[in-house]
Amino acid sequence: MTNLQPVRGTHDLLFDDLRRHRLIEATAFDLAARYGFVEIATPIFEFTDVFARTLGDTSDIVTKEMYTFETKGGESITLRPEGTAGVARAFISGGLAQMTPLKLFYRGPMFRHERPQKGRQRQFQQIGVELLGVASPQGDVEVIALAEHILKDLRLTGVTTLEINSLGDTESRAAYRDALVQFLGARKTALSEESRERLARNPLRILDSKDPGDQAAVKDAPAFTDFLNMASQDFFKTVQDGLAALGIGFKVNPALVRGLDYYCHTAFEFTTEALGAQGTVLAGGRYDGLIQQMGGPPTPGVGWAAGVERLAMLLPELTPAHRPIAVIPISDDEVTAAQSLTHTLRRAGLAADLGYGGNMGKRMKRADKINAIVAVILGADEVREHAVTVRNLDTGDQVKVPEADLVRHLAAYR
RNA sequence: GCGGGUGUAGCUCAGUUGGUUAGAGCAUCUGGUUGUGGUCCAGAGGGUCGCGGGUUCGAGUCCCGUCACUCGCCCCA
């Protein structure tokens, strides 16, 4: 081992950072269950093709951000850069088409080899849902409603905004793409170098470029909404009406384009101003062609994923952790009795802490440091009387309690 | 992958035009206090000054390289 630094873009989680993660995951899991979603855990690696084929050959994720390696058997394996492709693969290989509509929730680490910065790491946690086998816009509304519900319970609706757009069906999308390429092709000189590249590869992305020149050029470009065919327009309108009916606020953003190839119809993002360049906190959309494209039965799908680290950075102050009871033997003579007492309290469902050494003063200090709510003190007198001294560490009030009454007495401190 | 900024104690940071034993606050530990914590007082431990090379009588300080972090671009959760 030549150095002890963590691998670039990876982080250890503990204490409040990890509590934030767990709170987010638990909130999302519980609410997803309320909406009828069950958890799926897919492997964190797949054959490289699973991602290469589904995400699109032009996406940056595939072209430069995948952690890919070869096994001893010569197979190409990739650490999952996102969740949907793996779930889609599981849907197909597990024969889950029998069970549609299928509502799946997942959580776990994702891996992308890109330059780390605020809100962006090489290993990061995502939570997400996929609703498979539902073609109706009712599905889009449901998954967005779940997303909003999670953010609301996490008290994040104040710092996030929901933006939605429609990418239309395949036909609408192709027509728009042609029109956009034609329009921007004629103004090539006004575009940034990167956008000139994108014109051939991924022209829709020019719409949300941050380059001022690009933004000016795009200003008078044809609007996506004008190219939506009737079916796509109806679909989009139904989604908007559905959200409005649930009282979910949103903003239509015609420039909203998702990066991955498999999206169609609804695209949405919850964004924030609070995270610098990484404004997207939860994003998703509809992917009706994906499963079939991967070789499965034609199956519509809609879902989203959220970055747990980004949500964690937005989270308000955590409520203090549960306060334990400190058991304090006055001398070494009472340590065994104290350990037994601690065990009894724990068996009774109370969080009890027994330090590992030191005189009474030190043990009291430790009790204070771990934010104990009460100290249960055990000395020679107490042992003789089959009692303990209970000290309220906030008020300093102290009372002697018979051992038999202790658990009942401590219930007041829970 | 590209551009900017920053690296000094566990944390937050001082450190003068290059000058001899590198400091502070917080945190930790010990003692004041062997039946009572927080507050207070006294003391202690803790540093390859990110790493490597160079300039110099002398480098935390200047130069080059490198690594890491960070902000932005690209892209994305």
Tens of pLDDT, residues A201-257: 778 888 877 777 888 888 888 888 889 999 999 999 999 999 999 999 999 998 888
**Is residue A116 predicted with pLDDT exceeding 60?**
yes
Contacts of A76 (CB under 8 A, 6+ apart): A47, A48, A49, A68, A69, A70
Question: Are the CB atoms for A367 and A328 separated by under 8 Å?
Answer: yes
Would A195 be classed as within a structural domain? no
Mean pLDDT, rounded, for A162-182: 89
The whole-number pLDDT of residue A90 equals: 97
Q: Is the CB of A52 under 7 A from strand B?
A: no
The spacing between the Cα labelled CA in A331 and the C1' in B44, in angstroms, equals 26
Selected residue with higher pLDDT from A89 and A175? A89
Give one word for A339, left, alpha or beta, with left for phi > 0 and alpha for psi -120 to 50. alpha
**Nucleotide with smallest C1' distance to residue A11 CA:** B69
Do A141 and A26 fall within a single domain? yes
Cα–Cα distance between A392 and A378 in angstroms, integer? Answer: 15
Which residue's CA shows the smallest distance to C1' of B76?
Answer: A259
Q: Which of A314, A340, A355 is the last residue of a domain?
A: A314
Angle, helices A15-34 vs A137-153, to 10°: value is 140
Q: Is the CB of A260 under 7 A from strand B?
A: yes
pTM over 0.80: yes
Do A37 and A113 fall within a single domain? yes
The whole-number pLDDT of residue A57 equals: 65
The spacing between the Cα labelled CA in A311 and the C1' in B68, in angstroms, equals 25
Do A246 and A352 fall within a single domain? no
Beta-sheet strands, E only, within A289-362: 301-307, 325-329, 352-354
Q: What percent of chain A has pLDDT over 70?
A: 97
**Is residue A413 predicted with pLDDT exceeding 80?**
yes
* ipTM > 0.90 (yes/no): no
Mark residues 194-213 of chain A whose C-beta is closer than 7 A to nucleic acid strand B.
194, 198, 202, 205, 209-211
What is the span of the domain harbouring residue A111? Answer: 15-169+229-314
Would A221 be classed as within a structural domain? no
Q: Is the CB of A121 under 7 A from strand B?
A: yes
Give one word for A147, left, alpha or beta, with left for phi > 0 and alpha for psi -120 to 50. alpha
Do A265 and A145 fall within a single domain? yes
**Is residue A149 predicted with pLDDT exceeding 90?**
yes
**Helical H segments across A1-119, by residue range:** 15-34, 48-55, 60-64, 84-93
Across chain A, mean pLDDT equals: 90
**Angle (nearest 5°) at CA A176 between A172 and A181:** 155
